Chains A and B, each alone.
Chain A
Amino acid sequence: MKRSRRQFLKVASLSVLGLSTHLATGGIVNAAEQGAQYLPNENGLKAGRWAMVIDTRAFETPEDFDVCVKACHKAHNVPNIPNNQNIKWLWTDTYEHVFPEQGNNHMSESLENRDFFVLCNHCENPPCVRVCPTKATYKKPDGIVAMDYHRCIGCRFCMAGCPYGARSFNFSDPRKHLDMGEVNPEFPTRMLGVVEKCNFCVERLAQGLMPACVEAAEGKIVFGDLNDPESEVRKVLAENFTIRRKPNVGTQPGVYYII
């Protein structure tokens, strides 16, 4: 009896050891194989500094805005929550609210009445990145301020830090406000308790597609590489008078408005 137990333990421990080494080495090999599958898309768009120029003169009717907002919110599964705990990626507001302290007396009627798009500015010096205690919000080399929803602890320091009110927090479960049959499977839905915002369609750029709102705007929004002197954004910036939101806070926004 004693002897057989000893033998059993010997065999058992040896097999556990063998099995675990096999799993360990096998695991490494598998990881290496899987790693090879994740190659960047060859058609992916690249830039030194992504930027957006919105021709605010061209957006006239509510529908002009609506198609872009819908395209964005559909692509990113942004819920519509009918209270002040709402999630916003791309939305509109009036001149005095979008450009506070940049207003004038007796402005033209069209400027007074016009709406303006609001979204994350993908700043050159993003305060949200500076304050995030977990690097859940970070700046990519191409200038896009991106987020890792799985690392965010929901402290909302970034919301206090953002001078543009571009960030939203999932106060409630966003999936309860989405038609789960209609969600875009290409982009993850978020969970309770994390912050989110516009990501300049980083996932679409990686596939060689323009941002959803740019595509839907049909030329009214120009998107491209600010570092490339030949790019279209540089062309429209050179030809038009543009402003950015809150220049005095020193963040250097990547979103320009033709007025």
Chain B
Amino acid sequence: MIEKVLKGSPKFYVWLAFLGSLIGLGAFTYLFQMKYGLSITGMSRDVSWGFYIAQFTYLVGVAASAVMLVLPAYFHHYKKFKKMIIFGEFMAIGAVLMCMLFIVADMGQPQRMLNVILHPTPNSVMFYDMMVLMGYLVLNAVIGWVTLECERHQVEPPKWIKPMIYLSIFWAFSIHTVTAFLYAGLPGRHYFLTAIMAARFLSSAFCAGPAILLLLLFVVRKMTNFNPGKEAVQTLTKIITYAMTINVFFFLLEVFTAFYSGMPGHAHPITYLFAGHGGHVDWITGFMWVGAILALLSLALLIPPSLRDNEKLLPWSLGILVTATWIDKGLGLIIGGFTPNPFEKYTVYTPTVPELLISLGIFATGLFVVSILWKIALDVKKEAGTF
């Protein structure tokens, strides 16, 4: 099926070339990081994880979100999702690849990364994170490819694929739970040390991931006339709405615990994010407020059925939702976890231009892979008449 990539419109290749140039820019910037180390980033002794790890965390959620299509389709036999599943699975492949690249970009000694396998350490959550990410990549690649191949030949998928699909459902939950455990088990990091972290991660993943999927599918619909189906879109939007409502609720639970208990350690990170420290407000505060307002706005636009089912409005609502969840998890989570530091001191973290360029390169790599995979899926569907 890979030959489908070779026959595309000029527009498609211009798009790939554009992404390729961004990848090149990121790779070129990474050369500087190889030479000068992570000193070219905005990270410091106090804020020792930054933009890279935040993006990794967000993208694990995007990867896991494919389960919001697979689960209804296979557990509840909701057939309307079947047409879209392949796009969710292929998007998950791109997302996991980006996760891995962000981890590598964040390493001080990436050439030693095989040490994680050479010296397996079962007491480290990172060891499990590596395993579940690898596993999820393989599962989605195998399931996606085999089912698409069968669709192409218009035969039933082989029997052995079913158990793999069921496994992938549990696996999707596990990858984001394990990612939450990276944070939720750290003593002395008050913003991370919360039992609800994994639940928050899953709820934000299950709204943001499908929202990104729908947004990308809307673009595809414009370009190729591929139609995911009106009812399928409406059902997925409902799932997104529920997940986002739970996500916002979970965050408010954190706020309650922190401020009603009055325990300084719990309150300080949230206070810092939303109100600054000692009369001084950093750039993150503006982002956090925008994120909070957009989160509520997305609910206001998604909960009333008349607004939710308005196809003109929907892309905007989803875009607002994605922005809000990204600010929460792709910026606030890491900064809040490291500020204040263990000495109750405040060090400002601001990502640098090289850091953002490398991240841009990684995002472009993910989009590049997803573009190629989706092109294959679309062409196969066109041929098979399941467009």
Contacts and interface: CB of A to CB of B under 8 A. Distances in A.
Interface of A: 83-86, 88, 93, 96-98, 100-101, 127, 130-136, 151-157, 159-165, 168-173, 192-195, 246, 249-251
Contacts of B186: 127, 131, 160-161, 163
22 contacts: A83-B44, A85-B39, A86-B45, A97-B344, A100-B343, A101-B265, A130-B124, A133-B124, A133-B126, A134-B115, A153-B107, A153-B112, A153-B116, A155-B103, A156-B49, A162-B342, A163-B342, A164-B188, A173-B37, A193-B108, A246-B342, A251-B187
A173 B43 CA distance: 15
A133 B108 contact: no
A193 B37 contact: yes
A152 B115 CA distance: 8
Contacts of A131: 124-126, 185-186
B177 to A, nearest CB: 17
A157 B187 contact: no
Nearest to A118: B343
Nearest to A84: B44
Interface string B331-356: 00000011001111101000000000
A151 B112 contact: yes
A172 B37 contact: yes
B264 A101 contact: yes
Contact of B38 (A88, A136, A193, A251): A193
B188 A96 contact: no
B119 A134 contact: yes
B281 interface: no
Given A93-B343, A132-B124, A160-B186, 12 more contacts: A97-B343, A101-B264, A133-B116, A133-B124, A152-B109, A153-B115, A154-B107, A161-B187, A165-B341, A169-B45, A171-B37, A194-B109
A104 to B, nearest CB: 14
Contacts of A157: 124, 126, 182
B113 interface: yes
B48 interface: yes
Interface string B184-220: 0111110010000000000000000000000000000
Contacts of A155: 103, 106-108, 126
Contacts of B115: 133-134, 136, 151, 153
Instruction: Name the residue among A93, A168, A170 with the largest chain B CB count within 10 angstroms.
Output: A170
Contacts, number: 143
Interface residues of B, number: 48
Secondary structure at chain B's binding surface: helix, strand, loop or mixed?
loop
A98 B183 CA distance: 23
Contacts of A164: 188, 342
Top-5 shortest CB links A-B: A154-B108, A163-B188, A193-B108, A172-B39, A133-B126
Given A101-B265, A165-B343, A153 B109 contact: yes
A118 B44 CA distance: 18
B46 interface: yes
A84 B109 contact: no
B48 A159 contact: yes
B343 A130 contact: no
Contacts of A97: 343-345
A100 B113 CA distance: 36
A168 B38 CA distance: 13
Contacts of B344: 96-97, 100
